[in-house]
Structure 1
Amino acid sequence: MKSHITAIGTAVPPYQITQLQVADFMSNALEIDSEASRRLRALYRATGIHTRHTVLSDYTHTSGEFEFYGNNPGMEPFPAIDQRMELYRKNATPLCIQAIENCFEQMPGFAKERVTHLITVSCTGMYAPGVDIEIVEQVGLPTNVQRTAINFMGCYAAFPALKTADHICRANPDAVVLIVCVELCSIHFQKHNTDDHLLANALFADGAAAVLVQSTPTPGSLYMESFYGDLISVGKKDMAWHISNFGFEMTLSAYVPDLIEQGIQVLTENLFRNLTVSLENISLFAIHPGGKRILEVIEKQLALSPEDNYHAYEILRNYGNMSSPTVLFVLQSIQRTLELADKGKRILSFAFGPGLTLESMLLQVH
């Protein structure tokens, strides 16, 4: 029995900010001098990101008009973890609902009562009763829907969710699985003037994605052919995500692209090992745009062109890195361009996260 991604929906919050706007905000927040501010703007320009989205209007201002951060030097008192979790609780579910509605729009006539399983994914907030129960209530899903929560796995978490949905549909051909990934990365801004925090503040944004997985294919659906995941333990300290008194703190070393560069070929070979497939058979690529340099080192190792990575670059440019939903934004971008002539083409997909975890997936266009 096979399983297919039949629809993908996405959503972003209302506040769209440019990289230069965020750079101004960060320069003010960090209280740095003009030379450091110049270097910060250079970092932001080098990310390949033009705009990002956030649930916080504060990032559209530089000072004096904040609703969440303190309107004084240093933004004191700096928001504590309980204030950030309250912000998550208020904003996460509405964003999920938008993504689910967008997903269902791709399937005219789809009856939400058919959903048998709900998988929710997030690493930027938690509470209970949580997002999963609120989705059931607000979308009107069956109250006996089987719920699974995948938490704190970071940017690659959509892959474990898709694997779980794949197992469910292969075991039960009548299953209809709804996956919802939501991340509000922007609520965890930290003031530390360190390389790790400066890089994280330059990349991450807010967004949500919803995916339907079923055994029965539909036109343009994506058959999930194979998965392979692995760890590069030497990179365990280079990407991490911890809960502190003032939000969740990201460790994001500049060495992460180097580690991915070292491991991507072996990861791809292991994904293909039991298949009659090679890179020459791959037409489309859905790579998680964790950063511009990550895309570039993968291109170098797999002999890809920037045109092969077009969809990833566009998502990075327009949305930044939204953690777990991001690779689903890339897949949606690809799915929207598919035509009848694309039937049978394969899509190679990657995502990366704490561990250092490398995930890969091979899909085929129905």
Structure 2
Amino acid sequence: MQPVSILSLATETPSHILTQTEALATARDLIGDQFSDFERLAAVYANAGIQTRQLARPVDWYRSPRSFLERTDAYLEVALDLWVTAAIRAMDEAGVPAGRIDTIVTISSTGIATPSLEARAMARIAFRNDVARVPVFGLGCAGGATGLGLASKLARATPGSAILFVAVELCSLALRTDRADKADLVSTALFGDGAAACVLRSGEDGFVQITGSAEKTWSDTLDIMGWQAEPTGLGVVLNRAIPVFARKEMRQAMQEMLAPQGLAIEDVDQFICHPGGAKVVDAIESALALNQGALVKEREVLRDHGNMSAPTVLFVLDRYRREGLPKLSVLSALGPGFTASSLTLRCAA
């Protein structure tokens, strides 16, 4: 199977920085009175492994109840800005101008945009008017891996074409203050906002080649992670059993995803994982029998940005590539479905 190269990788975050100390204080003010044992539950902020996150809006914006319309307006403005900035930086690094992009894949699950973000970006970036648009909604935290896999398949199917892949999420817009539950409390301790973009093309001229991709979805797991529609917007569904599930299921899932490629877990030089949270990172290390602390870049990204959903694993990949990727890596993420997604990455190093 012909490899597909990632020619470039750009990451971007909003300018509004929230420290974890500020996040705890804000949550105490906004939703603390809805939990009789808030101070006990607040330990999640200290245990999340996060120091700072970036938000779509200044923290005071979240102090007022927001309608679905207000959240959507914020999404359309900020997500588009991040999309455009990350895309331009990725195309510049790749040396591929907008007019040479043949297909655009956009991954986003934290807002609704119809026309979709890449269509709106065409007013600001000189893409051709015959560029193919592939907007994808609903992948959540798995979107960085699954979407990149989709982009690689499109590149492989059309040799010589240039594929622009952009993932952007504004998780902070899902904050509820009217009837928060424990999932909302955890989300205020965990999630941030960000975007990442790549340019892909068939061949071996990039910093790494995608040589395989795979997914596994477990049946009867719809309640583990996702969104539920509410009058004020999208409300988070987040099951506290995710780390336990990952510890139990991830090893077999990885074996099943690698086996058709003739690979085993022991063949992989580096796993590059979506850091859903500190406990999830611990669980993946345990499941894959990695040395404790092996997923160092995952913890660094979580510390500096929180869980940004789909783009997060690309932030992790960017840190690993700056230090030099080994010969064989596997990029993976878990997300709604409940689904595990993986990409096999090879480079000449």
TM-score (norm 2): 0.93
Secondary structure at the aligned position of 2:145 is classed as helix
Match of 1:359 in 2: 341
Residue 40 (structure 1) shift: 4.3
* Letter in structure 2 aligned against 1:302: L
Residue 53 (structure 1) shift: 0.3
Residues 335-346 of structure 1 aligned to structure 2 (within 5 Å): 335-338=321-324, 342=326, 345-346=327-328
Given that 2:146 and 2:342 are in contact with CA atoms closer than 8 Å, whether structure 1 keeps it comes out as no
The CA distance in 1 between the partners of 2:242 and 2:61, in whole Å, is 34
* Letter in structure 1 aligned against 2:21: L
Q: Tell me whether 172-181 or 132-141 shows the greater mean CA deviation.
A: 132-141
Percent identity among equivalent residues? 26
Match of 1:211 in 2: 198
Residue 166 (structure 1) shift: 1.9
Match of 2:9 in 1: 8
Match of 2:25 in 1: 24
Given that 1:23 and 1:40 are in contact with CA atoms closer than 8 Å, whether structure 2 keeps it comes out as no
What RMSD, in angstroms, separates the aligned Cα atoms of the two structures? 1.9
The answer as to 2:274 corresponding to 1:288 is yes
Match of 1:323 in 2: 309
- Aligned in 2, Cα 1:168/1:238: closer, same or farther, shift over 3 Å? closer
Match of 1:52 in 2: 53
The CA distance in 2 between the partners of 1:302 and 1:223, in whole Å, is 23
Match of 1:154 in 2: 140
Deviations 1:96-118 (A, max 9, x none): 122123323433x4332211000
Given that 2:62 and 2:175 are in contact with CA atoms closer than 8 Å, whether structure 1 keeps it comes out as no
The answer as to 2:239 corresponding to 1:257 is no
TM-score (norm 1): 0.89
Residue 35 (structure 1) shift: 8.0
Secondary structure at the aligned position of 1:180 is classed as strand
Residue 285 (structure 1) shift: 1.8
Match of 1:179 in 2: 165
Residues 292-307 of structure 1 aligned to structure 2 (within 5 Å): 292-307=278-293
* Letter in structure 2 aligned against 1:12: T
Given that 2:145 and 2:331 are in contact with CA atoms closer than 8 Å, whether structure 1 keeps it comes out as no
Given that 1:235 and 1:259 are in contact with CA atoms closer than 8 Å, whether structure 2 keeps it comes out as no
Given that 2:216 and 2:257 are in contact with CA atoms closer than 8 Å, whether structure 1 keeps it comes out as no
The CA distance in 2 between the partners of 1:240 and 1:161, in whole Å, is 17
Secondary structure at the aligned position of 2:88 is classed as helix
Match of 2:259 in 1: 273
* Letter in structure 2 aligned against 1:173: P
Residue 135 (structure 1) shift: 2.0
Deviations 1:111-169 (A, max 9, x none): 32211000111111112223111222312111111001101221111233222222222
Given that 1:347 and 1:362 are in contact with CA atoms closer than 8 Å, whether structure 2 keeps it comes out as yes
Residue 216 (structure 1) shift: 2.7
The CA distance in 2 between the partners of 1:55 and 1:163, in whole Å, is 27
The CA distance in 2 between the partners of 1:68 and 1:201, in whole Å, is 11
Match of 2:183 in 1: 196
Given that 1:231 and 1:358 are in contact with CA atoms closer than 8 Å, whether structure 2 keeps it comes out as yes
Deviations 1:213-269 (A, max 9, x none): 1113325x2211222211222432121212211121111111111112221111111
Among 80, 92, 98, which residue is 1:93 paired with?
80
- Aligned in 2, Cα 1:34/1:164: closer, same or farther, shift over 3 Å? closer
The CA distance in 2 between the partners of 1:265 and 1:185, in whole Å, is 28
Given that 1:27 and 1:40 are in contact with CA atoms closer than 8 Å, whether structure 2 keeps it comes out as no
Residues 37-116 of structure 1 aligned to structure 2 (within 5 Å): 37-57=38-58, 59=59, 66-67=60-61, 69-70=63-64, 78-107=65-94, 109-116=95-102
* Letter in structure 2 aligned against 1:291: G
Given that 1:177 and 1:213 are in contact with CA atoms closer than 8 Å, whether structure 2 keeps it comes out as yes
Residue 274 (structure 1) shift: 2.5
Given that 2:105 and 2:163 are in contact with CA atoms closer than 8 Å, whether structure 1 keeps it comes out as yes
- Aligned in 2, Cα 1:193/1:39: closer, same or farther, shift over 3 Å? farther
Among 113, 117, 142, which residue is 1:127 paired with?
113
Secondary structure at the aligned position of 1:241 is classed as strand
The answer as to 2:330 corresponding to 1:348 is yes
Match of 1:63 in 2: none
The CA distance in 2 between the partners of 1:150 and 1:347, in whole Å, is 25
* Letter in structure 2 aligned against 1:92: A
Match of 1:310 in 2: 296
Residue 300 (structure 1) shift: 0.9
* Letter in structure 2 aligned against 1:50: Q
Residue 295 (structure 1) shift: 0.9
- Point out where structure 1 has 5 or more consecutive residues left out of the alignment: 60-65, 71-77
Secondary structure at the aligned position of 2:195 is classed as strand
The CA distance in 1 between the partners of 2:184 and 2:34, in whole Å, is 18
Among 163, 182, 190, which residue is 2:149 paired with?
163
